[in-house]
C-alpha cells in the first residue's frame, strides 16, 4: 500500500521477499544493507530464532531515487520461509506493493519452491490482491551450487503463468544478482503506481 505524503515530499512503498526456508531472503537483505551508504538505508532488524532462522520478519528501510522532488522510500521485508509460520507470513504481506520471490535453485528444493509460490498466491488472495496485477520478480538463488537446476527448468516450474515476470539468477551470499532483482521490482512498483497501465505491462513481459 503506497503512501504519498505531500507534506514530507515522500512516497513510501513496501516490498516483500518471499520464498521457501533457507532460500536466501535474509541473505539478500543483508547484502542490500551491506552495500548501501548510511544515508540511503536505515537500521536492519531481524526477528530470528537462536539459529538465525527468521521467525517473524527482517526489515530494512532504504531510500531510492528522487522523483519530481519526492523521495521514494522502500521498506523491505522478508517472511519466515518455513511452512508452519504461515500466519506470521500472512501478516507481513499486509499492505505490500511488490514482491521478490527468492527460489532455491537446488534440484531437491523444487517442491518447496512450488509450494511456497502457491502459498504466496493463496495468501495474497486473502487480502484480495492478485499476483498477476502485482509487481513481482523471481530471483533464482544459489546459482553457484553444483546441484542447481537449469534456469529454463525453474522457469517452467515457477514462471509460466499468463504474465511471465522478470527473473534473475543470484548468489545472495556474495551479492550477485540481488540488486538486479530489487531495482527491477522497485521500477515496476513505481510504474504501477505512477506510470501508464501499458508501461507496467511492457515492463513485466
Partner 1 sequence: MLRDLVIHENEATRIGQVLGSFLEESGASEALLIDRSGQLLASTGKTATFDTVSISALAAGAFSSTGAIAELLGETEFSVLFHQGVRESIHVSTVDGETILLAIFDDGTTVGMVRLFAKEACRAIGAILAEARTQPRRVGVLAAPLTADETRGRIGPETR
Decide: is 8 part of the binding site for partner 1 (CB under 8 A).
yes
Indicate the residue among 14 and 109 with the shorter CB distance to partner 1: 14
- CA–CA distances in Å: residue 99 to residues 67, 70, 108, 162: 21, 22, 24, 17
Are 83 and 115 spatial neighbours (Cβ–Cβ below 8 Å)? Answer: yes
Site string for partner 1, 26-65 (x = CB under 8 A): ------x--xx---x-xx-x-x--------xx-x-xx-xx
Q: Are strands 10-18 and 167-169 parallel, antiparallel or unpaired?
A: unpaired
The answer to whether 122 and 83 are in contact (CB under 8 A) is no
Size of site (CB under 8 A) for partner 1 = 59
The x, y and z cell numbers of residue 188, run together, are 515496476
Spatial contact of 126 and 90, defined as CB atoms under 8 Å apart: yes
Q: Which residues bind partner 1 (CB under 8 A)?
A: 1-8, 12, 14, 32, 35-36, 40, 42-43, 45, 47, 56-57, 59, 61-62, 64-65, 67-70, 74-75, 77, 87-88, 91-92, 94-96, 127-129, 175-180, 182-183, 186-187, 190-191, 194-196, 199, 203
Amino acid at each position: 500500500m503506497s503512501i504519498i505524503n505531500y507534506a514530507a515530499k515522500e512516497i513510501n512503498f513496501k516490498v516483500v521477499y518471499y520464498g521457501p526456508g533457507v532460500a536466501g531472503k535474509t541473505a539478500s537483505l543483508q547484502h542490500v544493507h551491506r552495500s548501501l551508504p548510511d544515508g540511503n538505508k536505515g537500521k536492519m532488524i531481524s526477528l530470528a530464532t537462536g539459529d538465525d532462522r527468521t521467525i517473524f520478519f527482517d526489515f530494512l528501510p532504504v531510500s531510492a531515487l528522487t522523483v519530481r522532488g519526492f523521495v521514494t522510500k522502500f521498506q523491505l521485508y522478508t517472511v519466515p520461509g518455513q511452512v508452519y509460520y504461515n500466519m506470521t507470513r500472512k501478516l507481513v504481506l499486509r499492505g505490500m506493493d511488490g514482491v521478490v520471490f527468492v527460489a532455491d535453485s537446488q534440484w531437491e528444493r523444487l517442491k518447496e519452491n512450488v509450494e511456497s509460490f502457491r502459498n504466496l498466491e493463496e495468501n495474497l488472495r486473502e487480502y484480495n490482491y492478485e499476483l498477476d496485477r502485482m509487481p513481482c520478480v523471481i530471483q533464482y538463488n544459489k546459482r553457484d551450487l553444483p546441484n542447481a537446476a537449469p534456469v529454463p527448468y525453474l522457469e517452467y516450474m515457477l514462471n509460466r503463468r499468463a504474465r511471465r515476470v522478470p527473473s534473475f539468477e543470484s548468489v545472495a551470499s556474495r551479492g550477485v544478482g540481488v540488486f538486479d532483482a530489487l531495482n527491477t521490482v522497485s521500477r515496476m512498483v513505481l510504474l504501477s503506481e505512477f506510470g501508464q497501465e501499458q508501461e507496467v505491462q511492457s515492463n513485466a513481459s
